[in-house]
Structure 1
């Protein structure tokens, strides 16, 4: 196993039974190829995916992954609060048992996205492990997830919404640090110039988990069509401004109501500063990326041009005008 793959696997090795190790090593090498080497985008049913997010893995999850009552899916568009929400759910479920919480957190970080990593992860690793509750993250569009079956089986789905202007700024700061962004193919998708980068994104030409020419707003519209189908929509900005109120809703939704003391503990442990400390170094060392930067509301004002901001406003009206979604921009 290469040094890069060994680093990616890290402490996860100590948490896995021996029969899972060959599969885990294969997964680590696969991620190394996707992120460190010249990773290329994928496409499935017209939706374009970043390296490491695999159509075959997504299909396995759709057709064969067994999820049932009490299991949870956290769905997001990139840079709308994925890691934050997964951590909140983890603290709600296991906050009274720090050892167990750390174990599940580390395992999920490595293999816990529906569509991420080689498809063999399910048979070779995941299905050999035992979880009291399965928790998956995903960036997949709604049509690529078997929501009908999951709803019938009692799976809880949480979808996080963030204003598209801050999401865009956060996306740039995130992907420009990917190791593969230095290669010629990606340089044309991710221009170094900030204004050009935003223009390219708004044209829908960055393989950003949507169809060509589309992006976050279209994906959000697809998900919002399922409002009420055992899906809780959480607004990033409300969670930032009123964490106690929003985390209480999340806990009740997943069937784990918290006492006032437990609630405050989750709020404290998942504050932005706490998360930056806990996850910042981890993701930087493993993947060379910055998972938590500022998380501020209104940061877009320091980056987007007036024309870009107005273009997003028009797109919001065009794509989401018939919904009741109202973004919070400051």
Structure 2
């Protein structure tokens, strides 16, 4: 693994991903494919588990058929781990896939096939806090600078998968053009059953209230943290070093208060207002 970033079509991306950019860009989606897309550390794994449970009518055993990263392959990592592109191409439809790519870099085939895309957005402060901790264990990103410097890099978009601001605004503005369901991490945290119903409806699944409640229980943070098929505990060690810290950390709203100083919060707020000016996107809790 090379712990460095490079620029791909205007976005900072890990070198180990960027070197296979043509394969990623030209991935062929199919009719019926479902894409879960997020900026990193925004509730991706949580939504993956929710969607898999919805598609399997809350059949817990079916959703333990393999780890979540095999059940729902990660488009940018096909060349780095299993399942590879050949295995993904052999998967039966409808496939559920995952990406962190911004809307303008999502493989064109998803839009051509009018695939359903579920986008999860999380407030910027909690996202950068979680990403900072995560970048300590992700082996194809540069080792994080001290927090103050890392925060500056995040504000400039000089972290893996680029600018949070461009990412969340890009998908927000694309809702009218594409088949996108835009979900907020904070809403799923506050009213999980309501959001599960919303996702199920978007996916064309008519589930009983009992099934919805079961999905809520099986996809709770506490349950997933103990579930080896959901908690990334056996994710390839050459990509994710979990010897000192696990993949699933807190899953909270407001954890940013453990890292931000008052001064950093004020500077961040000023920059946030500048970068979000002109957008109708508003987060349910904080920013």
Shorter chain as normaliser: what TM range? 0.7 to 0.9
Aligned equivalents of 2:138 and 2:47: distance in 1? 22
Check 1:51–1:257 CA distance in 2 against 1; reply closer, same or farther (3 A cut): farther
Aligned equivalents of 1:201 and 1:61: distance in 2? 24
SS of the residue 1:249 aligns to:
helix
- Tell me what 1:218 maps to: 166
- Tell me what 2:251 maps to: 295
- Tell me what 1:41 maps to: 5
133, 147, 151: which one pairs with 1:194? 147
Aligned equivalents of 2:197 and 2:232: distance in 1? 29
- Tell me what 1:160 maps to: 120
227, 238, 246: which one pairs with 2:175? 227
Check 1:142–1:305 CA distance in 2 against 1; reply closer, same or farther (3 A cut): same
Check 1:223–1:72 CA distance in 2 against 1; reply closer, same or farther (3 A cut): same
- Shift in Å, 1:277: 1.4
Moved more, 279-288 or 256-265: 279-288
| Alpha carbons 2:5, 2:15 under 8 Å: kept | yes
- Tell me what 1:170 maps to: 130
| Alpha carbons 2:39, 2:100 under 8 Å: kept | yes
| CA offset digits 1:147-172 (Å, max 9, x no partner) | 5x434423100111110000011011
- Shift in Å, 1:141: 1.4
Say whether 1:118 aligns with 2:79.
yes
| Alpha carbons 2:44, 2:120 under 8 Å: kept | yes
- Tell me what 1:142 maps to: 103
Check 1:108–1:303 CA distance in 2 against 1; reply closer, same or farther (3 A cut): closer
Check 1:96–1:109 CA distance in 2 against 1; reply closer, same or farther (3 A cut): same
- Tell me what 1:91 maps to: 53
Moved more, 43-52 or 130-139: 43-52
Unaligned 5+ residue runs, structure 2? none
SS of the residue 2:7 aligns to:
strand
Matched length: 277
Check 1:155–1:285 CA distance in 2 against 1; reply closer, same or farther (3 A cut): closer
| Alpha carbons 1:53, 1:117 under 8 Å: kept | no
255, 275, 280: which one pairs with 1:319? 275
- Shift in Å, 1:66: 3.0
Aligned equivalents of 2:10 and 2:156: distance in 1? 16
Normalised TM-score (structure 1): 0.75
| Alpha carbons 2:187, 2:195 under 8 Å: kept | yes
CA RMSD of aligned residues (A): 2.6
Check 1:156–1:291 CA distance in 2 against 1; reply closer, same or farther (3 A cut): same
| Alpha carbons 2:117, 2:180 under 8 Å: kept | yes
- Tell me what 2:42 maps to: 80
| CA offset digits 1:52-100 (Å, max 9, x no partner) | 43453x533443413213x200110001111111111111112444443
- Tell me what 2:233 maps to: 282
Check 1:297–1:160 CA distance in 2 against 1; reply closer, same or farther (3 A cut): same
The 5 Å alignment of 1:61-72 reads 61-69=24-32, 71-72=33-34
SS of the residue 1:49 aligns to:
strand
Which protein has greater RCO, CA pairs closer than 8 Å, 6+ apart? 2
- Shift in Å, 1:329: 2.2
Relative to its length, the structure with more helix (as a share) is 1
Unaligned 5+ residue runs, structure 1? 1-33
- Tell me what 1:329 maps to: 286
| Alpha carbons 1:158, 1:231 under 8 Å: kept | yes
SS of the residue 2:210 aligns to:
helix
- Shift in Å, 1:285: 7.3
